[in-house]
Amino acid sequence: MKWKLTIGCLYPELLNLYGDRGNVRCLEKRLLWRGMEAETVSFYAGECLDLSGVDILLLGGGSDREQAIAGRYLLENRKAIVRYVEENGVLLAVCGGYQLLGNDYRTEKGTLEGLRLLDIHTEWRPKRLTGNVILKSPLASSPVVGFENHGGRTFIKGARPFGRVIKGFGNTGDSGYEGVLYKNVIGTYLHGPLLSKNPELGDRLIGQALKQKYGAGVRLPPLSDEAEYRANRYMAVR
Ligand code: GLN
C-alpha cells in the first residue's frame, strides 16, 4: 500500500508571512523523498471548511489587518476546526495563526476574537519582538531555530510551552518560554519556514499524521537531511 497524506493550508492568500508556505513544500518533499504521496489542499477565505480528508493542517502568520480578516473566516468554521483538533488532528499554527488559537488578541485598535481552542490570550504592545530565535524543545533533540516578528505577547497560563527560549523573545519576551503544545497541535511564533530548518519537527508532524491515519507502528525511514542540519547549525552557532 502506498501511504498518502493530505496537507491542508488555511487561507494562504492572507496568512503567509516570511515563507510560512515553505512549511507546506517541506512536508510534501519529505513525503515524496520517502516514496509516499502528498496532496495539498488550500482553503481560501469564504469557503466552507471540510477537514474530513485533511491529515496535517497549517495556519500561517499575517499582519494584524490580514489576521483580522482570516480570524473572521476561522470563527465561521470554528466547529470543524475544534472537532479536527479534539480528534487528534495534526495542526501547526505560526505567529498570527498561533495567536488565533487562543481566546482573543487584544490589539491597539480593538480585540480580535480567537478560536478558543486553548485557554491562552495575546496582548499587543508597541515594541515588536523581532529577531532570530533558538529554543530547546521536548519535540526535537537539536535546537529549534527560527525567526520571530510580533507585536503580540501570548500568555499561555498553565499550558505546555513548545520550548524554552535560549535566544530571542518567545511568547512574551520575559516568560522564558515559546509557543504552546496541545494534543497534536504546535502553536509557535517561529517563521523561517520552521520545518525546513528543523527537520525533526517536520517528521514529527508526518509521523503523528501517519499514525492517525494508518494506526500505530509507523516508522519513517531516515533521510540524510545534511543541508537541513547545516542550516540549523549555522543559525544556532550564529
Ligand atoms: N500580527 C501579529 C503580531 O504582530 C502576528 C504577526 C506575525 O504573524 N508575524 O503580533
pLDDT in tens, 196-209: 999 999 999 999 99
pLDDT in tens, 74-94: 999 999 999 999 999 999 999
- 4-237, what's its fold? Rossmann fold (3.40.50)
Predicted confidence band of residue 218 (pLDDT cuts 50, 70, 90) = confident
| Residue 157 pLDDT > 90 | yes
Count of residues for the chain? 238
pLDDT of residue 170: 98
Using a 6 Å cutoff on CB, does residue 95 contact ligand 1? yes
Contact residues for 169 (Cβ-Cβ < 8 A; gap 6+)? 129, 131, 133, 148, 189
Asked if residue 168 has its Cβ within 6 Å of ligand 1, the reply is no
CA atoms within 13 A on the CB side of 178: 32
CA dist., res. 91 & res. 205, Å (int)? 8
Over pLDDT 90: what percentage of the chain?
89
Is the peptide bond between 199 and the residue preceding it cis, with omega within 30 degrees of 0? no
Question: For residue 163, what is the enclosing H or E element?
Answer: strand 163-167
Ligand 1 pocket, residue 150 CB under 6 Å? yes
Q: What is the pLDDT of residues 106-152, one digit of tens each?
A: 999 999 999 999 999 999 999 999 999 999 999 999 999 999 999 99
Task: Report which of 229, 225, 195 is spatially closest to residue 94, judged by C-alpha positions.
Answer: 195
Cα 151 to middle of ligand 1, angstroms: 6
Q: Is 150 a catalytic residue?
A: no
- Annotated catalytic residue 95: yes
Unique residue bearing C-alpha cell 515559546: 178
Q: H/E element holding 78?
A: helix 78-86
Dist. CA 215 → ligand 1 center (Å): 36
149 within ligand 1 shell (Cβ under 6 A): yes
Break the chain into its structural domains and give their ranges: 4-237
105 vs 2: which has the higher pLDDT: 105
CA distance 63 to 67: 6
Q: In degrees rounded to 5, what are phi and psi of residue 202? A: -60, -45
* Cα–chain center distance at 147: 13
Interval 19-28 mean pLDDT: 93
* Whole-prediction pTM: 0.97
Euclidean distance between CA atoms 114 and 103, whole angstroms? 5
Handedness of CA 157, 120, 154, 55 (dihedral sign): positive
